[in-house]
Structure 1
């Protein structure tokens, strides 16, 4: 009888404990499953020229749908230049071989909305020996947008002469053109896709290229004014350093083939 009583007592004690352990293990598995799902969602790749549900919820908006030029027009023009085309889900500049002179109906293009604080994300691919750029906070008042706007350089670093000009590599891909070199210099060769993120927030600007921050600077500071004063820009536009707080995003026609895709923006 004593043995039976002990067994009953131990059963009464152990069963709730075992049951509690099972419940905790089940809860833990459920939590792990939820965490795994959340990680999977956060790592979900964006569709080509589209957004994941997580990106939409986070405030990202596409600036290029992959099939039309909607939202884009030529700088100081009311139409989309014929020298640009939409092909295979990309915005493609048809190289003229004429440098900045460009084709007859070419020229830089801008998105027809001004942005202030934002992160711009896109992918670019340059042709062999090619040159182009991404402008931001641009104004539409002079003959070229580069006379009013900072530029994140796009370049075939291996072949284009600009890679060896300027100072300390400040004309190579990812750089703040002619002012601050991209470090580390991690651009991929001509013909390969590069991914960039460009953040502007209350005067702080960061260039990110292929997953690494390569440039950081601050607009409107004494250091900024001094740096610009020592560059070529004041001779072209005495007010170049007075970058506006809000402006246009532009893509450059430098006479070379260049492709853009997955262009999206998040206003901050």
Structure 2
């Protein structure tokens, strides 16, 4: 629990036993208690003891980009919050494929999100994706591996999107999420539930889409099929305002709000992740270029 929360709680207790006169709450006391309750964040920890890889050991292509998927193996990749690769993921025909379970997000028997096991700070990520009809997925960046506690004190493995911004992957024409949110901010390459990708130039299901994500000292740009479609700036008043208006607001989801507001943690770095949303999606030609 944060120091500010403890101080607010102490102030409320002092008011109760002194100036508030017996057990009757004043308006100020009620406000202080409400503020304390709103500020509370569930207990959590960042996992730092799972396997990682040395980015310098991966090959570079002719443009100096680091190839983080060799088209044949899961070298460098593992499941989010686990040390192995979930069976729902496979390498097939030079692609990383999440086998659709039809059971929704991480609903398959041995599914869950996939990450490249090296934290990145300033970089350009490039890849291509295609989806089956009606499919949904996402590309995450600056993600942390998070374990929280439930009301009984048991460990809960949180999903990657609780800490990482998401570049949406979607069949815009056939998935209902395309019509949800606001102004198209859940369509392909949008900053999910916050900024719509404009122009919306995604190709239909079954065709390859090219994505580049620039992350440099808090400036983020999404490119879709070689056009810039989203730009925003982390750790700014603008970022806080967007979170306040999203499904990750403090009131709706205190833990997500806490983690996303401070996206990347102390070192402003995190994992790249691919989402298992229960649908068939393919990824290929995945490279990163580190920026100074």
Shorter chain as denominator, the TM-score bin is 0.7 to 0.9
* Secondary structure at the counterpart of residue 224 of structure 1: helix
* Secondary structure at the counterpart of residue 233 of structure 1: coil
Partner Cα distance (2:118, 2:60) in 1: 20
Partner Cα distance (2:74, 2:104) in 1: 23
Aligned to 1:160: 175
> Structure 1 residue 101: deviation in Å?
3.9
Q: Which moved more, 1:60-69 or 1:229-238?
A: 229-238
Aligned to 1:206: 221
How has the CA–CA distance of structure 1 residues 111 and 101 changed in structure 2, closer, same or farther, with 3 Å as cutoff?
closer
Aligned to 1:215: 230
Partner Cα distance (2:241, 2:208) in 1: 35
Using structure 2 for the length normalisation, give the TM-score: 0.72
**Aligned pairs, number:** 215
Partner Cα distance (2:146, 2:162) in 1: 9
* Secondary structure at the counterpart of residue 112 of structure 1: strand
Partner Cα distance (1:177, 1:204) in 2: 16
* Aligned with 1:238 (options 248, 257, 261): 257
Aligned to 1:178: 193
* Aligned with 1:136 (options 132, 135, 141): 141
> Structure 1 residue 253: deviation in Å?
0.1
* Secondary structure at the counterpart of residue 146 of structure 2: coil
Aligned to 1:22: none
Contact 2:243/2:257 (CA < 8 Å) preserved in 1? no
Partner Cα distance (1:101, 1:90) in 2: 20
Aligned to 1:113: 118
Contact 2:121/2:142 (CA < 8 Å) preserved in 1? yes
Partner Cα distance (2:239, 2:161) in 1: 17
* Secondary structure at the counterpart of residue 196 of structure 2: coil
> Structure 1 residue 238: deviation in Å?
3.2
